[in-house]
Amino acid sequence: MNEKMSILGVGPKLFKITVLYSIALIVFMKCFHFNPRISEEHHGLVIVFGIFLIVVGLVFLRASAAALIKAYKADQLYVKGAYSICRHPLYSAWILFIIPGSLLLFNSWLLLTIPFVMYLAFRAQIKEEEVYLQERFGEEYIKYKSSVGLLLPKFWKYKN
């Protein structure tokens, strides 16, 4: 088995891909003066929904990070709390909540492609982390993997 994976997992790779795409998108939008708005009429609602997503994401991120740090230090597979509703809640917090919520504040349809690209990058990169976890924790991870979704939180399955 390979050495212990960084606590950051494939996060740095995911971050690089997302930043490169974001820069390319912003350059495109500036060069072509193209930035379709989500809704001028409902801009206030879009802002409120964006803030809501950010808050939910930050709560989810905080709970996930705290649990991950403890489990990583103990070299244990943690399957409670946020990890009982999805296998990768840190990525979920960013891809599904924090990034989309933040981008809603800019009121731009094009910027909302960033979380989609981030999700595609996640799907391509996460295999490395999944293989590592399966090698590290064996049958325990295989059982966990079969009972919990990859990224989409299933809040009704929450176990504390």
- 35-64 pLDDT tens trace: 999 888 888 999 999 999 999 999 999 999
Would you state the pLDDT for residue 3?
85
- What mean pLDDT comes out for the span 126-151? 95
Tokens standing for 43?
């801009």
- Report how many helices (DSSP H) and strands (DSSP E) the chain contains, helices first: 6, 0
- Tens digit of pLDDT for each residue in 81-129? 889 999 999 999 999 999 999 999 999 999 999 999 999 999 999 999 9
Fold of 11-157: Four Helix Bundle (Hemerythrin (Met), subunit A) (1.20.120)
Helix/strand/coil for 6: coil
- The answer to whether the pTM exceeds 0.95 is no
Structure tokens that stand for 56 in this block: 């939910």
